Structure 1
Amino acid sequence: MNAIMWMGVAGIVGTALSPWITERLRSKNARRDQLVKLRLAIYADLLRATARLATTATASATSHPNDAEMIGGDDFDSLLSQAQVVASDDVYRRLNELSQLTETFNQHLVKAESRPVFPHRQHLHDGAVNDPLRLQHRRALADIAGGVAVAHGRVQDAIRHEMNR
């Protein structure tokens, strides 16, 4: 076979394969665009949730032990599981740090809560809200709440860095 004949065969094969190659590239780009849109939606929800975590942690750390509330919950866990599927490694690592701080905060919150006291023993527990151990837990809560706010900022920075790539 001579060169002209090979060029003709290549032209026919190229013409036949061209639509398949074009469709494959378009499909790949469509999947990538869909993933970016999904990430963006999940990241927006995550940023709202992490900001709410930071605000609630700060408010709970500074409020009376009976008025404090736990942070996180099922909504945050659901967002974490969604992020595990689509988030980048850096964002997911930052979210895990925040999740661990959330768990630590809730553990210290339980330790800092005032316990119910039987009426006949009330005189032994007057001022129990301000006993040294509870105050130590309240200070730890304030430190952890500051860590939650910092972790929220790190999540925000990681998402911003990923979206600007």
Structure 2
Amino acid sequence: MPAPIQQPSQLFTAMATTLRNTAALNVQVGNHDDFSVPGNQAWVLIDFDRNAQGARAADGRIAHVLTVSLQVIPAVAATAFAAYDLIAALKNLVTDNRWGLPGDQCDLPMNLDGLPSVFLRADQSYKAWTLTFDQTLYLGPTLLDDPLGIPKFARTWEVSDIDDPDQYTPLEG
């Protein structure tokens, strides 16, 4: 079982590892700071555009709905459709992928969308494609874990704030 995740940045590491280890892609992976110029391999640049609120997990962990962008910059000798084809391959890989992270802490990607884009670096512009999607991570302690080991519960119709752990009561056994 994968180790529990503590930080949203662990998604970046997991995604980068998966993309680098997918031989069929043959890409360099990093963020915008890692890119200097196109080379013999295409680049996939990972960026997080948003961290929105989502519904808590069933165990009470706080949801982080991350909007992720994968920007593809084709290799120098690539054809005009190389970035488009790579976005299609990435879409196939991203669909149903939790990147090796625990399933109870990482939902499947949603709202996948590939669009043509331009990557600007200093005074250079590069034709690119960007695949964006939302992926929800559930981080922090569970509301079911109590330091005393007493399971707790709350009924939505009996409490004023279901997200307030102080309004939960011990489960009678």
The answer to whether the superposition gives a TM-score over 0.5 is no
Q: TM-score when scaled to structure 2?
A: 0.23
Answer with 1 or 2: which has the greater Rg: 1
* Bigger fraction of residues in strand: 2
Q: TM-score when scaled to structure 1?
A: 0.23
Higher relative contact order (CA 8 A, sep 6+): 1
